[in-house]
Chains A and B, each alone.
Chain A
Amino acid sequence: MGATQVLMISDGELVRRCRAGDSVAWEQIVHNYSRRVYNLAYRFTNRHEAAEDLTQEVFVRVYRSLEQYDPQAGDLANWLMRLARNLVIDDYRKRVRTPTDVGEDLTDHEFHLRSSTDAPDRRVERQERSLQVHSAIAKLPADLRECVILRDIEELSYQEIVDILNIPLGTVKSRINRGRIELAKTLRRMKVVEFI
């Protein structure tokens, strides 16, 4: 009920209310951003459970850091997603260094378009293709994969990627290029690219 009441409230106001102890405002922030954070986490983890855990961890961190957020310094979305990306990348690198034997649950992948005017058959086709893209990304080497996701899915600039990954600009450019070529070759083998 509270979520609908504060639907039109700005992020700055939501944060102010949260700081004042308004739990409804916090629920609204979770509602507004959980989907985006979850998708980011899922694209790196490829597992629903891991993505949910990571999303929860991100919001716990956000909740604790809410006092540090300065509305004058930028949007809540930017601040929250920057925090989320850092956490997700940290987790991803940790998992790459110490891989577990848990496989990816690619068979359970299901996607839906946020807004689409496509015909149902066209929509299904796009969903299938996205599933294959997801599988192809999952096959990329870890260092290429994080760069490609941040550039082509999160749509960050080269410099933002440099800041997050803490690697030189030349390395970022090189990895993005190699990642895209690798992805293209994988998709060609999967007969995805030729359909477009």
Chain B
Amino acid sequence: MVFAFCQTKARKTKTEDRRRMNCTIFTDKISAYLDGEMQTRAKAEFAAHRLSCRDCCALFNEVRDTLTAMSEYAQLDVITNFDTLEARIVDATSAGEMLSCTEFDKMIERYFDGVILGPTFQTFQAHFEDCWKCRRLLRGIEEAKEMLREVKEEVEVPRHLSRRIMAATVGNDSNTFFDQLARSLKAGQWVAAFLIFAATGMLINYRYGSVENMAAQASERALERQEQINQAVTNTGIMAIAGMEFISVKLQNREQRKKNESGPPPAPTPSATDHQSPTTDHR
């Protein structure tokens, strides 16, 4: 009974295997099998199908033989004139035409920095020799660089530039009145100012003999003037006091007159008398 059960199970497994590996799947798996990329179980199913299916077996053999033929084919070289081809390649990679003018232009900076390596430099050089436009360009740059090196004189910096820079950066503008005046005056104005100054000096010299004399005289006159002013102030003070006395006398007289014109005062009430009496007495 156990034996019969095992036989039934084995039959079932074979049927499942066959169902799992049909011709379509077999065809899809040929390369995977030949390239050794199948799992052991899948490989066994594949081999079983190959043995059971004549068409699939024939196809498999054809593909395997094709791979052998391809392997032979891969060992063969195409015949051509390789010497000519090599010469052609070497010419093409050495000649100046290999580099376009645009590429040459891009490499100029590297050339002046001295960072172009061997083969590229050869190509660069070859293009330089072949192309007159690029030759002219490179020489022009070299001349310009040389000219820049030769120019050693410095351009004079405007005097007010530092002040402008300071004003623009830290905002510390040192423009005083005299600075502005100095900048605004032109040469002719400076000459006129000088002449006026000289004429004034000569006039002082002619009138006073020297500046010291002029200063001494001015000092004496200033002292005299000061005394005069002091005297005037004193006089004014005296006059003011006299005026004040005069005004106070006038006021007293006027009050006296008013009292006299108005007559004797009415009889006071007792309370009022009591209140007024000290004042009246005081007066």
Contact = CB atoms under 8 A, between A and B. Distances in A.
Interface of A: 18-23, 26-27, 30-31, 34-35, 38-39, 42, 48, 51-52, 55-56, 59-60, 63-64, 66-67, 109-114, 126-127, 129-130, 133-134, 148, 152-153, 155, 173-174, 176-177, 180-181, 183-185, 187-188, 192-193, 196
A148 B31 CA distance: 11
Contact of B119 (A18, A38, A110, A126): A18
Summarize A's interface: helix, strand, loop or mixed: helix
B62 interface: yes
Interface in B40-63: 59, 62-63
B190 to A, nearest CB: 68
A126 B86 CA distance: 28
Chain A CB count within 10 A is highest, among B90, B118, B119, for B119
Interface residues of B, number: 42
A26 B29 CA distance: 46
B72 A129 contact: yes
Contacts of A112: 76-77, 79
Contacts of B70: 133, 148, 152-153, 183
Nearest to A175: B31
B118 A59 contact: no
Given A27-B90, A35-B77, A56-B92, A193 B62 contact: yes
Closest 5 A-B residue pairs measured CB to CB? A21-B118, A177-B31, A111-B76, A184-B62, A110-B79
B103 to A, nearest CB: 9
Contacts of B31: 173, 176-177, 180
